[in-house]
């Protein structure tokens, strides 16, 4: 059953990647420098490409964290910042054991490791500052910050949803 989920995700991801590669070919430059960029995304629509060299991860991030959104790949938590925002916490969730298991090795990240988010508004680099395990109800890990930060969340231990592994990073 776990293997079969990857087929669904692979098909969806292939389509999303082609769509988002077209978007990345035509970056959007704001007409007014310094003005906040406002973008609206529908659930399941590509928002960014996440690349984590240490893990060999290079996948499209979609808007939303519903079951159907996360079947396509990692998902951006609604009501968290976007990478291009001047401040705030970007939140991204991903499966650890199903749907191509993008965050399978998230526990292997070390302080200082690079996490890159490519968007139509530019590429934003983050450096890992730490991680911790929390209960699924600990939504405070998504609380907004003054500095531009990032959290990645996934279930832990593998094959269980009893806890969440949270990786914290700051924008470089």
pLDDT of residue 1: 46
For position 8, what pLDDT does the model report?
72
pLDDT cut 70: percent of the chain above it: 89
CA–CA gap between residue 146 and residue 151 (Å, rounded): 14
CATH architecture for segment(s) 2-28+45-171: Beta Barrel (2.40)
Taking the C-alpha atoms of residue 2 and residue 4, their distance in angstroms, rounded to an integer, is 5
- Banded pLDDT at 13 (limits 50, 70, 90): confident
| pLDDT at position 31 | 53
Question: Among residues of the chain, what percentage have pLDDT more than 90?
Answer: 63
Q: What is the mean pLDDT of residues 16-37?
A: 71
Q: How many CB atoms lie within 10 A of CB 171?
A: 18
Give phi and psi for 56, each to the nearest 5. Answer: 70, 25
Residue 33 pLDDT more than 60? no
Q: State pLDDT tens for residues 88-138.
A: 999 999 999 877 789 999 999 999 999 999 998 889 999 999 999 999 999
Q: What is the rounded distance in angstroms from the CA atom of residue 57 to the CA atom of residue 138? A: 26
Region of poorest pLDDT, from 82-86, 159-163, 164-168: 159-163
Whether the per-residue pLDDT at 139 is higher than 90: the answer is yes
Asked if residue 128 lies in contact with residue 109, where contact means CB atoms within 8 angstroms, the answer is: yes
Q: Where are the domains of the chain?
A: 2-28+45-171
Contact at 8 Å (CB) between 52 and 60? no
Chain center to CA of 67: 15
């Amino acid at each position: 059953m776990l293997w079969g989920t990857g087929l669904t995700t692979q098909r969806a991801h292939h389509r999303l990647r082609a769509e988002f590669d077209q978007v990345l070919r035509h970056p959007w430059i704001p007409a007014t420098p310094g003005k906040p960029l406002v973008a609206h995304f529908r659930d399941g629509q590509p928002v960014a490409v996440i690349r984590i060299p240490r893990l060999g991860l290079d996948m499209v991030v979609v808007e939303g964290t519903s079951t159907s959104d996360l079947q396509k790949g990692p998902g951006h938590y609604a009501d968290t910042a976007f990478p291009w925002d001047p401040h705030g916490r970007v939140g991204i969730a991903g499966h650890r054991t199903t749907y191509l298991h993008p965050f399978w090795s998230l526990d292997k990240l070390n302080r200082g490791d690079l996490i890159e988010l490519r968007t139509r508004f530019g590429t934003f680099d983050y450096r890992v500052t730490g991680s911790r395990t929390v209960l699924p109800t600990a939504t405070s890990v998504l609380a907004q910050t003054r500095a531009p930060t990032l959290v990645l969340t996934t279930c832990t231990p593998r094959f269980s949803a009893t806890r969440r592994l949270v990786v914290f990073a700051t924008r470089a």
